[in-house]
A = this chain, B = another copy of it.
Amino acid sequence: MDRTDDSLIALRRILRATELYARELAHSAGLTPAQLRVLQIVDEKSSATPKDLAKQMGVSQATITALVDKLVSRNQVCRVPSQTDRRQTNVTITPEGHETLVNAPDALQQKFVRSFEALEDWEQAMLVAALERIATMLDAEEIDAAPVLTTGELQMGGRRI
């Protein structure tokens, strides 16, 4: 009867499934999960600065430096000095890196896409609406700017996502 709990439980199932698959996927691509995520972001945006990557992934720039070092040594990405601002470095994907992504057997992706595209039109529309609504609930105020609450604030019990 408690819909809030039901929604949180379903959300956790989604998070767990995607995370476990992400590990599997990275492993079969011969990379670590963190490295694969860098590669994916760089591929999607076709070019990203370390600062962008750090913000997107929620880690420090020092971490990005280390990850990019690893990917560079494997010829998956390369560093291209920015023309407009010589402080910046653009990380771009190499043909080898793109090949890695194309060959990554994204089982979760495949399963989801197949299931989703098998649905009736109105069902798809409903799911997209629901997902977007939930996404907006979760990332409403940009995470980066979210003030870190200190202990003693209002609590909602032991629930969590």
A-side interface residues toward B, CB under 8 Å? Answer: 3-4, 6-8, 10-11, 13-21, 23-24, 27-28, 40, 43, 56, 58, 101-113, 115-117, 124-128, 130-135, 137-140, 143, 146, 148-156, 158-161
Contact = CB atoms under 8 A, between A and B. Distances in A.
Copies of this chain present in the complex amount to 2
A20 to B, nearest CB: 4
B7 A124 contact: yes
A126 B131 CA distance: 11
Interface of A is mostly: helix
B15 A18 contact: yes
B156 A106 contact: yes
Contacts of A140: 111, 115
7 contacts: A4-B124, A10-B128, A10-B132, A17-B143, A105-B148, A107-B149, A113-B156
